[in-house]
Structure 1
Amino acid sequence: MDRDLAETVGLLAGDAVVTRTLNLIGEAAPAGAWLVSGALYGAVWNALTGRPAGHGLKDLDIIYFDASDLSWEAEDRAARRLAAAAPLTDPPIELRNQARVHLWYRARFGAGYPRLTSALRSLDYYPATAQALAARLSRTGIELHAPFGCADVLNLRLRPNRRLPNAASYERKAARIATLWPEVGIEPW
């Protein structure tokens, strides 16, 4: 494991919200589920800036991949099962089947989205590189996937990922991050 990845995993392991959520995923989430994005970069930035666990979190994004049923109803059933296992989760859980993102993305964001082959492929299209983190528990501890590496998150930097025309999403996220973690250096789109 490279040094940045190991440091990031260490910071995540020390965050109570992250560890609680990773345990929940292992117990009740659909197979192959991962905790992603804000819970992870937020945990790292909170640790690095001395803020409490959970600062800045509006939800806990959990992704999975099930191409056997692309209906909204199937995704909703999975979300309700997970919510029943953790009825008082704060912040709330947002569970999304990455196999079906291409079906709704254009209507919500105004651009096309590729049909994915795994949940982790979705990270390649997140608006910011520091956002593209996924974690779950394995037999040896926290398994972390970071297609752009961990340097940006460890260096308190937000950089755009231009693989999709996500300027509006990136700018909304950047504005929110600037108020929550003013130490973060934000590159314009």
Structure 2
Amino acid sequence: MPTTPPDPFPVGELADPTKTREDDRFRAVSRIVQTDPTLMAILQTSRRLDLPDAWLVSGAIYQTIWNALTGRPEGYGIKDYDLIYFDGSDLSYDAEDKVIRRVADAIPELAERIEVRNQARVHLWYENRFGRPYEPLSCSLESLVFYASKTHAVAVRLTQGNALEVHAPFGLANIFAMRLVPNTATNNRATHEEKGARMKTFWPELTVVPWPSRISS
């Protein structure tokens, strides 16, 4: 039986930072996330496993918001769910793999779609994969400022008190405006353009801001 899309989320003026407060956007994110059963299942699993400095980040959050804004069904267009954590006590892949398997065992129905990564060891493999160095991080949230697009930089986690904690170093207005804005902190032009092209096929309402021409590819 086909899924009926929910009514569009009443966005109001959340896309305009001159007319609404960031606190209003934080509350809207919390409301949207807490009504999505898949996101809540992942967040509850992460909390139950007590993963250190663990956050659900990026596409799982802002694409869920876009679906709410446009009246599309839950999970539409979402390729995977990025769950990050930070454990500097053991930087081996074996240690990370154990965490990956713990999460998979805890939520097997989503095991193939959850990407679990220890942010303490990203600098060990990043250059080999992307061709440029990556400085060691001090915590999970520090990674957000290096994402290819500022719009990607959003993270949520569930507190022990069952409240939703939201972090967005570049703010949330661009997400509610459905505007993908490049982040030139690192040379991630290819990633920004590749992801932007893919997202436009799912959310044609999206505006993809071009990478500045003064920064080479």
1:96 aligned onto 2:117: yes
Q: Cα deviations across residues 10-64 of structure 1 (Å, max 9, x unaligned)?
A: 2222222211211111112522211001100011000001111111111110000
Structure 2 SS opposite 1:2:
helix
1:146 aligned onto 2:168: yes
Instruction: Report the TM-score, using the length of structure 2 for normalisation.
Output: 0.83
Q: How does 1:97-176 map to 2 (within 5 A)?
A: 97-138=118-159, 139-176=161-198
Aligned to 1:68: 89
| Structure 2: tracts of 5 or more residues without a match | 1-21, 212-217
Aligned length: 189
Aligned to 2:205: 183
Equivalent AA in structure 1 for residue 25 of structure 2: D
Q: CA RMSD in A?
A: 1.3
| Structure 1: tracts of 5 or more residues without a match | none
Question: What percentage of residue pairs aligned between the two structures are identical?
Answer: 47
Q: Counterparts of 1:160 and 1:12 in 2: how far apart (Å)?
A: 24
Equivalent AA in structure 2 for residue 174 of structure 1: G
Instruction: Report the TM-score, using the length of structure 1 for normalisation.
Output: 0.95
Whether the aligned pair in 2 keeps the contact of 1:34 and 1:63 (CA below 8 Å) is: yes
Aligned to 1:49: 70
Structure 2 SS opposite 1:130:
helix
Q: Counterparts of 2:134 and 2:62 in 1: how far apart (Å)?
A: 24
**Which is greater in Rg?**
2
Q: Provide closer, same or farther for how the CA distance between residues 91 and 4 of structure 1 changes in structure 2, counting only shifts above 3 A.
A: farther
Q: Counterparts of 1:114 and 1:56 in 2: how far apart (Å)?
A: 31
Q: Cα deviations across residues 65-120 of structure 1 (Å, max 9, x unaligned)?
A: 01111111110111011111111216611100000111111111111111100000
Once superposed, which parts of structure 1, at least 4 consecutive aligned residues long, lie more than 2 Å away?
Answer: none
